[in-house]
């Protein structure tokens, strides 16, 4: 068995997927160079208003209730990828038939998903979740499924437009009703009933809508011939005598008749859809505020996550590319000279984020900034995740810290797919922070204290007193049982004298007697006084082969300041000859 | 709960009744849990018998909603976990989960030692821990030496990260050295040049950062006041976020270097919120500071004492004893400076002193060898601080209402510079 997923009126469907709030509006898609833009696609509401493909944009604009959108190759590409993702989530054998049509082999899928009707409904639901209103047809033959999907959607659309009920013969091809409402987008044709179900469809279904040039002329000629013969639907074509048809139309005629009877057979040409997950929006008017940007990002992220979920994948890296408007007046030929890179896109001080373009003085933007129209941010996650809300919040926090600096005209969001993490918490294992929540928390805390001041510590292989660096804190579900040590040994090791560092160290004036510190004065009042006890010096040095060589003597001191006694570490920098209090033992 | 008790008693016009010998709340011991069950059953039945009969007992809908104190549900005793120091566990029973624990004391009183011990114990249990370091004072090598699993520790270093311009007058009045001057070309002190202000300068000005000085403060003082507020705000916001996130076994607020007048500016409602946030969760909220600031919100309060002069004298005697054993080491102080531990390790190996071989990268002596430090030819860094005694006093405990008791515990130096 085969299934065909067909998205009727694909340019409109792609536009509605990007802007779902336009579902209730009359919408028309135009393309072409101004002022010769032409309407290429309209939805039913536009047709009711009298707008039809082929009209000029100026004509369509006379209607005040219509929403006009330019044709977007990016949106159509994203929609096509979503269509492939939908098909791939059900079957590994998928044929990329056309931009709006995908065929898939359902052999053996009944045991996984149930009956053909259930599979068809599931495919339709999955497509709807991905933002596509698709017609799904299943049949024993790929061509029959294709003809049914295209033919029934066209016939039903014309019925809706003319406010007529579909004829009984047309309704017999539809799938049984589910939950009390008939699903007009699911067609199931049982084996042996192909010719009967395809019969009412018009003969125009046999020819692709996207034909151009000579093939289109030939198709028009054939249709004209059939019309002269009085052949209006596939049932009439299927009933013609084969020899007579062959004598008049040749092999092409016979092939068309086989299609009309549902007898044609062929094998699918499977494609392996690339694991590229990208969503994009081109904006008619530049965005200058974070709130509307977050609104659009949310939509893109939801679509992206739905696509990833349909392929049972998650993501560990999100890349946001914002195309900024050219505020500088420089010619377009210079516009792409800039080097798009992470976080360096535009200086924050160059152009004020959140101001309308008119509020920005052109002279304020340095020349090298003018040539960077793209702003890229990469969001690396410690673990694969799939939560649009978490992604949105992380992107918002990141953009708050690193604003793009200029109005945005295009948003491109891509995700690097990764296998979702499979971790199972143990009943007897200690709890650990939830990775999604933790990542958000860390991002928020980084916004409070600074990015470099949050994380886990990693000790470096050096004797340098500050030989450590901060790295990302990752909380994974414990896979091993906690270390088992004998209590005595563990506790004996734990109670160690700790050092608290002063960052930066406190400069001190030290009184020496016989080379030993006896009195100490410091700006901090509580860290000065008579040296009660001392030990040292311990000499440390390192990095003598580098410019950053260091050498110093360290002392441990007990200082008496009034009644208080405290222990400190005193450091003598041998190169600079200065004394510092590095920390206190506590 | 307390307000309900007061209102009920006042409404009924009878005196408050106190238990002759208040029993501590039930811990995890099975025999005590039996007592707890008896108390609960007794508390349910008794009020019906002891309530006076009168017009107040008429079915008044307003009084119907008031629950007698004896019928209130007894709060379950929190689970106690080890603090990593046996003496402290013996004193306080450990650290309570789902509660706020305060450790306060002056500098060098052992607050950080207890902090590291608690962290080490928690990470040994496999829990994730977080330290909100108000003064960016934590030493990673001390953490490692204490046995803390660094992969399980989230370190949040608060401070004046926001670059702010300092008025020239403030710089002059403080007499701060020019910050642009490099102390050394590179090395450990490099970061001095990057810091907006030296810490000592900031701290010396914190006296004038109290709210009462706010109105008359100079521009420099008001700036420092804002910085102090900024740091406190960072601590509180980070704590709020971590508590909300959940999943941490131990969250530590390190306020040890904050002056008490600054730390006291944290409103009591904030501590109450923190306490409520960890309640009924397996998280231990732990704060170290100079003086108690959380009031009754803390379930356990330990006061540490500053080291006494006899403690220092004991260290002095140890040092003198060591010098008597090895008089040659003190002959030329400048030239015979005690060498780095790594080199000591090599020297000892060359002399065939295999029995005292050091196992760490720092040439340090293991914990087992620490008591024998006087027998070592050249003591490693901070070994003379071994067996430093800290004094802890139990001021308040939710579980134990006995009078304050104190203990003394010793530390060992398993770490070298």
Q: Which residue has the higher pLDDT, B70 or B379?
A: B70
Binned at pLDDT 50, 70 and 90, residue A4 comes out as: very high
Closest Cβ–Cβ partner in B186, B256, B313 for A500:
B256
Q: Which residue has the higher pLDDT, A418 or B355?
A: A418
Do residue A558 and residue B154 have CB atoms under 8 angstroms apart? no
For A48-76, write each residue's pLDDT tens digit.
Answer: 888 888 899 888 888 888 889 888 888 89
Listed residues B244, B277, B306: the one ending a domain = B306
Same domain, B149 and B245: yes
Same domain, B153 and B260: yes
Do residue A465 and residue B417 have CB atoms under 8 angstroms apart? yes
Do residue A497 and residue B411 have CB atoms under 8 angstroms apart? yes
d(CA B235, CA B252): 11
Q: Given the DSSP bridges, would you call strands A564-573 and A578-585 parallel, antiparallel or unpaired?
A: antiparallel
Phi first, then psi: give them for residue B276, nearest 5 degrees: -65, -35
- In a domain, residue B187? The reply is no
B410 → chain A, closest CA residue: A495
Binned at pLDDT 50, 70 and 90, residue B32 comes out as: very low
- In a domain, residue B253? The reply is yes
- pLDDT attached to residue A341: 39
Do residue A478 and residue B126 have CB atoms under 8 angstroms apart? yes
Residue B382 pLDDT > 60: no
ipTM of the shown complex = 0.73
Same domain, B118 and B242: yes
Say if A447 is an interface residue toward chain B (CB within 8 Å): no
Residues of B whose CB is below 8 A from A496: 113, 116, 142, 145-146, 367, 411-415
Do residue A483 and residue B199 have CB atoms under 8 angstroms apart? no
For B116-149, write each residue's pLDDT tens digit.
Answer: 999 999 998 889 999 999 989 999 988 988 889 9
Residue A288 pLDDT > 80: yes
User: Residue A388 gets which letter from DSSP?
Assistant: H
- pLDDT attached to residue B250: 93
d(CA A380, CA A388): 15
Say if A432 is an interface residue toward chain B (CB within 8 Å): yes
Of A257-271, B204-218, B376-390, the range with the highest mean pLDDT is: A257-271
Which of A108-117, B48-57, B311-320 comes out lowest in average pLDDT?
B48-57
Phi first, then psi: give them for residue B195, nearest 5 degrees: -70, 140
Same domain, B94 and B150: yes
**A372-392 average pLDDT score:** 88
Residues of B whose CB is below 8 A from A583: 137, 139
Do residue B410 and residue A553 have CB atoms under 8 angstroms apart? no
Q: State how far the alpha carbon of A579 is from the alpha carbons of A100, A178, A313, A555, B49, in Å.
A: 76, 84, 58, 11, 76
Say if A505 is an interface residue toward chain B (CB within 8 Å): yes
| 8 Å CB contact between B341 and B364 | yes
Do residue A547 and residue B106 have CB atoms under 8 angstroms apart? no
Find which of A429, A432, A450, A496 to mutate to test the B interface (most B CBs within 10 Å of its CB). Answer: A496
Residues of A whose CB is below 8 A from B307: 558, 565-567
- pLDDT attached to residue A479: 54
User: What's CA A372's distance to the chain center, in Å?
Assistant: 23
pTM, to two decimals:
0.70
Same domain, B296 and B238: yes
Same domain, B301 and B314: no
Do residue B382 and residue A497 have CB atoms under 8 angstroms apart? yes
CB-count burial class (<10 Å; 0-12, 13-18, 19+) for A38: middle
For B196-208, write each residue's pLDDT tens digit.
Answer: 333 333 443 333 3
Residue A462 pLDDT > 50: yes
Q: State how far the alpha carbon of A182 is from the alpha carbons of A3, A45, A117, in Å.
A: 19, 22, 12
C-alpha distance from A47 to closest chain B C-alpha (Å):
53
- pLDDT attached to residue B358: 34
Which of A157-171, A216-230, A311-325, B169-183 comes out lowest in average pLDDT?
B169-183
- How many percent of chain B have pLDDT more than 90? 18
Say if A565 is an interface residue toward chain B (CB within 8 Å): yes
Please report, to the nearest 10 degrees, the dihedral formed by the alpha carbons of residues A572, A574, A578, A583 taken in order.
-30
Q: State how far the alpha carbon of A278 is from the alpha carbons of A21, A82, A321, A377, in Å.
A: 21, 10, 11, 15
User: What's CA B11's distance to the chain center, in Å?
Assistant: 43
Tokens 């833009």 map to which residue?
Answer: A37
Residue A353 pLDDT > 70: no
- pLDDT attached to residue A50: 87
CATH number at residue B301: 3.40.50.300
Listed residues B280, B306, B332: the one ending a domain = B306
**B260-272 average pLDDT score:** 87
- pLDDT attached to residue A314: 93
- pLDDT attached to residue B412: 60
User: Residue A270 gets which letter from DSSP?
Assistant: B
Same domain, B318 and B259: no
Say if A131 is an interface residue toward chain B (CB within 8 Å): no
Same domain, B119 and B240: yes
Q: Count of domains in chain B?
A: 3
B389 → chain A, closest CA residue: A497
Q: What is the mean pLDDT of chain A?
A: 81
- pLDDT attached to residue A64: 83
CB atoms within 10 A of CB A470: 16
Residue B9 pLDDT > 70: no
Say if A429 is an interface residue toward chain B (CB within 8 Å): yes
Where do the domains of chain A lie? 2-73+93-207, 277-357+370-418, 425-482, 500-585
- In a domain, residue B238? The reply is yes
- pLDDT attached to residue B386: 63
Which of A484-488, A565-569, B250-254 comes out lowest in average pLDDT?
A484-488
**A81-105 average pLDDT score:** 90
Binned at pLDDT 50, 70 and 90, residue B220 comes out as: low
Which of A284-288, A451-455, A530-534, B30-34 comes out lowest in average pLDDT?
B30-34
- In a domain, residue B400? The reply is no
User: Domain range for residue B50?
Assistant: 2-71
Say if A479 is an interface residue toward chain B (CB within 8 Å): no
**A170-191 average pLDDT score:** 62
- In a domain, residue B235? The reply is yes
Residue A450 pLDDT > 80: yes
Say if A348 is an interface residue toward chain B (CB within 8 Å): no
Do residue A496 and residue B190 have CB atoms under 8 angstroms apart? no
d(CA B131, CA B151): 13
Class of domain A277-357+370-418: alpha beta
d(CA B187, CA B173): 29
Closest Cβ–Cβ partner in A450, A495, A556 for B382:
A556
- pLDDT attached to residue A265: 81
- pLDDT attached to residue A13: 92
Same domain, B147 and B269: yes
Residue B320 pLDDT > 70: no
Binned at pLDDT 50, 70 and 90, residue A455 comes out as: very high
For B339-360, write each residue's pLDDT tens digit.
Answer: 333 343 333 334 443 333 333 3
- In a domain, residue B408? The reply is no
CATH value of A2-73+93-207 in 3.60.15.10, 3.40.50.1100, 3.40.50.170, 3.40.1170.60: 3.40.1170.60
Same domain, B100 and B155: yes
Angle (deg, nearest 10), helices A73-88 and A10-18: 90
Same domain, B149 and B52: no
B255 → chain A, closest CA residue: A500
- pLDDT attached to residue A48: 86
Residue A354 pLDDT > 80: no
Residue B364 pLDDT > 50: no
Find which of B130, B143, B154, B379 to mutate to test the A interface (most A CBs within 10 Å of its CB). Answer: B154
Residue B20 pLDDT > 50: no
Same domain, B321 and B285: no
- pLDDT attached to residue B38: 46
- In a domain, residue B371? The reply is yes
């Amino acid at each position: 068995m085969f299934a065909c997923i067909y998205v009727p009126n694909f340019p409109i469907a792609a536009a509605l997927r990007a802007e779902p709030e336009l579902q209730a509006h009359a919408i028309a898609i135009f393309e072409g160079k101004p002022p010769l833009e032409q309407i290429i696609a309209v939805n039913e509401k536009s047709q009711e208003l009298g707008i039809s493909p082929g009209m000029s944009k100026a004509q369509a604009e006379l209607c005040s209730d219509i929403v006009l959108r330019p044709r977007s190759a990016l949106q159509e590409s994203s929609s096509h990828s979503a269509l492939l993702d939908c098909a791939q989530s059900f079957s590994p054998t998928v044929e990329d038939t056309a931009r709006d049509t995908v065929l898939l082999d359902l052999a053996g899928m009944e045991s996984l998903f149930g009956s053909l009707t259930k599979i068809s409904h599931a495919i339709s639901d999955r497509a709807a979740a991905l933002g596509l209103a698709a017609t799904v047809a299943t049949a024993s033959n790929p061509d029959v499924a294709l003809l049914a999907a295209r033919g029934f959607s066209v016939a039903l659309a014309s019925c809706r437009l003319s406010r007529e009920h579909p004829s009984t013969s047309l309704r017999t091809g539809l799938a049984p009703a589910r939950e009390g409402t008939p699903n007009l987008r699911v067609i199931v044709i049982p084996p042996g009933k192909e010719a009967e179900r395809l019969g009412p469809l018009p003969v125009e279904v046999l020819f692709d809508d996207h034909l151009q040039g000579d093939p289109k002329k030939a198709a028009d000629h054939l249709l004209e011939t059939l019309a002269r013969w009085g052949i209006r639907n596939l049932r009439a074509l299927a009933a013609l005598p084969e020899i007579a048809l062959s004598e008049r139309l040749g092999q092409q005629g016979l092939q068309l008749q086989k299609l009309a009877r549902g007898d044609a057979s062929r094998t699918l040409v499977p494609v392996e859809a690339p694991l590229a997950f990208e969503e994009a929006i081109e904006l008619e008017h530049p965005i200058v505020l974070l709130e509307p940007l977050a609104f659009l990002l949310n939509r893109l992220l939801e679509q992206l996550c739905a696509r990833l979920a349909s392929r049972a994948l998650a993501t560990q890296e999100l890349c946001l590319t914002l195309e900024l408007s050219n505020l500088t007046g420089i010619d377009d030929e210079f516009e792409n000279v800039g080097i798009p890179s992470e976080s360096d896109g535009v200086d924050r001080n160059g152009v004020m984020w959140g101001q309308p373009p008119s509020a920005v003085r052109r002279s304020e933007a340095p020349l090298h900034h003018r040539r960077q129209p793209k702003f890229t941010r990469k969001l690396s996650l410690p673990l694969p995740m799939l939560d649009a809300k978490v992604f949105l919040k992380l992107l918002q926090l990141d953009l708050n810290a690193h604003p793009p600096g200029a109005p945005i005209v295009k948003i491109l969001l891509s995700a690097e797919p990764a296998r979702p993490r499979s971790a199972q918490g143990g009943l007897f294992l200690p709890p650990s922070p939830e990775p999604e929540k933790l990542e958000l928390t860390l991002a928020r805390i980084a916004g409070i204290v600074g990015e470099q001041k949050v994380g886990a510590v990693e000790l470096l292989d050096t004797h340098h007193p500050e030989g450590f660096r901060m790295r990302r804190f990752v909380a994974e579900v414990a896979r091993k049982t906690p270390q088992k040590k004998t209590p005595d040994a563990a506790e004996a090791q734990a109670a160690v004298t700790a050092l608290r560092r002063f960052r930066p160290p406190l400069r001190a004036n030290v009184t020496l007697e016989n080379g030993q510190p006896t009195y100490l004065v410091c700006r901090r009042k509580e860290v000065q006084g008579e040296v009660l006890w001392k030990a040292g010096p311990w000499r440390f040095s390192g990095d003598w082969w580098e410019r950053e060589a260091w050498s110093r003597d360290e002392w441990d001191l007990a200082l008496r300041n009034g009644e208080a006694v405290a222990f400190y570490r005193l450091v003598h920098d041998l190169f600079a000859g200065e004394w510092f209090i590095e920390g206190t033992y506590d | 709960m307390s307000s309900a008790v007061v209102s009920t008693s006042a409404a009924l016009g009878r005196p408050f009744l106190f238990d002759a010998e208040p029993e501590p709340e039930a811990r995890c011991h099975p025999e005590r849990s039996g007592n707890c069950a008896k108390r609960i059953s007794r508390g349910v039945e008794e009020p019906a018998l002891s309530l006076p009969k009168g017009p107040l007992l008429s079915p008044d809908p307003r009084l119907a909603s008031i629950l007698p104190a004896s019928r209130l549900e007894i709060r379950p005793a929190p689970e106690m976990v080890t603090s990593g120091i046996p003496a402290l566990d013996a004193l306080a029973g450990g650290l309570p989960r789902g509660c706020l624990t305060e450790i306060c004391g002056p500098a060098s009183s052992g607050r950080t030692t207890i902090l590291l011990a608690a962290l080490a114990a928690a990470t040994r249990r496999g829990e994730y821990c977080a330290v909100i370091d108000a003064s960016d004072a934590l030493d990673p090598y001390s953490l490692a030496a204490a046995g803390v699993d660094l992969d399980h520790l989230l370190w949040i270093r608060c401070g004046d990260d926001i670059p702010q311009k300092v008025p020239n007058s403030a710089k002059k009045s403080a007499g701060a050295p020019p910050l642009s001057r490099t102390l050394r070309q590179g090395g450990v002190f490099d970061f001095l040049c990057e810091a907006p202000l030296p810490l000592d300068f900031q701290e010396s000005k914190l006296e004038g950062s109290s709210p009462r000085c706010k109105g008359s403060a100079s521009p420099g003082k008001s700036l420092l006041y804002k910085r102090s507020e900024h740091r406190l705000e960072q601590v509180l916001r980070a704590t709020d976020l971590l508590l909300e996130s959940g999943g941490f076994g131990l969250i530590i607020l390190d306020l040890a270097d904050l002056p008490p007048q600054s730390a006291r500016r944290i409103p009591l409602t904030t501590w109450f919120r923190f306490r409520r946030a960890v309640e009924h969760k397996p998280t231990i909220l732990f704060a170290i500071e100079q003086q108690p600031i959380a009031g009754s919100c803390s379930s356990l309060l330990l006061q540490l004492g500053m080291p006494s002069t006899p403690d220092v004298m004991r260290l002095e005697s140890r040092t003198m004893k060591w010098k008597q054993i090895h008089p040659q080491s003190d002959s030329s102080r400048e030239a015979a400076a005690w060498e780095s531990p790594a080199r000591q390790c090599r020297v000892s190996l060359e002399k065939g002193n295999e029995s005292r071989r050091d196992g760490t990268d720092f040439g340090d002596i293991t914990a087992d060898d620490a008591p024998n430090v006087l027998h070592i030819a050249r003591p490693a860094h901070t070994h003379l601080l071994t067996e430093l005694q800290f004094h802890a006093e139990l001021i308040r405990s939710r579980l134990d209402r006995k009078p304050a008791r104190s203990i003394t515990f010793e530390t060992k130096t398993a770490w070298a510079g």
